[in-house]
Amino acid sequence: MSALPPDSGLAGHAPPDGAAPGTGGEVFARLYGAPLFAIPQDLYIPPDALEVFLDAFEGPLDLLLYLIRKQNFNVLDIPMAEVTRQYLAYVEQIRRRNLELAGDYLLMAALLIDIKSRMLLPVTRSNADEEVGDPRAELARRLLEYEKMKLAASRLDALPRLGRDFQRPCAAMDLCVEPLLPEVSPDDLRRAWRDVVKRASLNANHRIVREQLSVRDHMSRILRRLSSVRFMTFTELFTDGVRAGDPVAVVVVHFLALLELARESLLEVTQAEPYAPIYIRLSYIPSA
């Protein structure tokens, strides 16, 4: 190579950046600060030293939904042949890298192949009016439900989160707070006293006294009343007690006394016809 003429405008200039003086080459890398102008012949890079994942999927349904939405396919009318081909191609890539991870994806692949094969078989109907179900219906339902959950999860993830999108402010302050006692006015004391009296009035004691009632005593009363008359209606027998304000317990005991007298045949209870007044009289003639 001939030397450059002095007036070419390039003589005396420094070499370009990334090239060492006198080498004319490009620096590929730097090792411990020293430039490398060529790839070492004994350089060994393991096959799994670097892996680049352009798309990360959370499972078989996520991958299948991605393939369908990427090509604007209708979920309710999935072209099984094309989707199955693309799905198997991706599963083959996963299987080469990680066989354990490909297990779940292989299960979905088997399901896709099964649906595809059922769609190729002729449809047989046992009844003319029977509607034949679409083999893709269950898969479409699962995809739609998964898409709803995924959208809901993305909306929740978009919400501001403590520690990720913002931090809780913390400020340390050395303050000496003196307790401020409230001022009590006469009106406050009057209201407090009124509340105490009101609560005290609610603590009233109620004493229940058991009344001693005797059936024999009421039997004697009935006999004395009937001894002065020939007969008496059933209602008249209780009228005096009701007017006097006897409690229900007294009236009940009076009725039990009447039944006891009738059982012992000391009085008679008669009625001329149905729904007629009931009469009561002594079954014996009292002595004068």
For 80-121, write each residue's pLDDT tens digit: 888 888 888 888 887 777 666 677 788 888 888 888 888 887
- Per-residue tokens: 226: 């009937």
Read off the pLDDT of residues 194-243 as tens digits, 9 standing for 90 and up: 888 888 877 767 777 777 788 999 999 899 888 888 888 888 888 888 88
Angle at 201 between CA 195 and CA 203, to 5 degrees: 115
Q: What is the bridge-based pairing of β-strands 267-271 and 232-233?
A: unpaired
Read off the pLDDT of residues 261-287 as tens digits, 9 standing for 90 and up: 989 989 888 888 888 889 888 888 776
Read off the pLDDT of residues 55-81 as tens digits, 9 standing for 90 and up: 567 788 888 888 888 888 888 888 888
Calculate the CA 213 to chain-centre distance.
61
Cβ-based neighbours of 142, under 8 Å, separated by 6 or more: 61
* CATH superfamily of this structure's domain 215-282: Structural maintenance of chromosome 1. Chain E (1.10.10.580)
pTM for this predicted structure: 0.38
CB 19 within 8 A of CB 26: yes
φ, ψ of residue 41 in degrees (nearest 5): -70, -25
Lowest-confidence region among 32-36, 159-163, 192-196, 273-277: 32-36
All structural domains of the chain with their residue ranges: 60-121+134-158, 215-282
